[in-house]
Copies of this chain bind each other. A is one copy, B any other.
Amino acid sequence: MEKINPMDIEKRSFEIISSELNGIVLDEEKAPIVKRVIHTTADFEYVDNMYFSEGVVEKALEALKRGAAIVTDTNMAKSGINKAAAARLGCEVHCFMADEDVAKSAKEQGVTRAAVCMEKAVELQKPVVIAVGNAPTALIRLEELMKEGKIKPELIIGVPVGFVNVVESKELIINSGADAIIAKGRKGGSNVAAAIVNALLYMASPREGI
By the criterion CB–CB under 8 Å, are A161 and B6 in contact?
Answer: no
Say yes or no: is A24 at the interface (Cβ < 8 Å to chain B).
no
Complex CA distance for A186 and B9, rounded to whole angstroms? 14
By the criterion CB–CB under 8 Å, are B164 and A16 in contact?
Answer: yes
B residues in contact with A112, CB < 8 Å: 6, 9
By the criterion CB–CB under 8 Å, are B163 and A43 in contact?
Answer: no
Closest B residue to A187 by CB, please name it: B42
Closest B residue to A79 by CB, please name it: B79
CB distance from A143 to the nearest CB of B (A): 11
Complex CA distance for A43 and B44, rounded to whole angstroms? 12
CB distance from A169 to the nearest CB of B (A): 8
By the criterion CB–CB under 8 Å, are B2 and A164 in contact?
Answer: yes
B residues in contact with A191, CB < 8 Å: 76, 189-191
By the criterion CB–CB under 8 Å, are A106 and B16 in contact?
Answer: no
B residues in contact with A122, CB < 8 Å: none
Complex CA distance for A80 and B78, rounded to whole angstroms? 11
**Contact string against B for A residues 166-177, beta-carbon threshold 8 Å, 1 for contact and 0 otherwise:** 101100000000
Complex CA distance for A205 and B46, rounded to whole angstroms? 36
**Contact string against B for A residues 102-145, beta-carbon threshold 8 Å, 1 for contact and 0 otherwise:** 00001000111000000000000000000000000100100000
By the criterion CB–CB under 8 Å, are B161 and A194 in contact?
Answer: no
From B43, B162, B190, A80 is in contact (CB under 8 Å) with B190
Give the most central of A79, A186, A187: most B CB within 10 Å.
Answer: A79
Complex CA distance for A54 and B187, rounded to whole angstroms? 31
By the criterion CB–CB under 8 Å, are A164 and B9 in contact?
Answer: yes
> Given A13-B162, A42-B187, A75-B79, 17 other A-B contacts at CB below 8 A?
A1-B165, A1-B168, A2-B168, A4-B165, A5-B110, A6-B112, A13-B163, A41-B161, A41-B189, A42-B185, A42-B188, A43-B43, A76-B80, A76-B190, A76-B191, A189-B189, A190-B191
The 6 closest A-B pairs by CB, nearest first: A42-B186, A79-B79, A16-B163, A76-B80, A13-B163, A6-B112
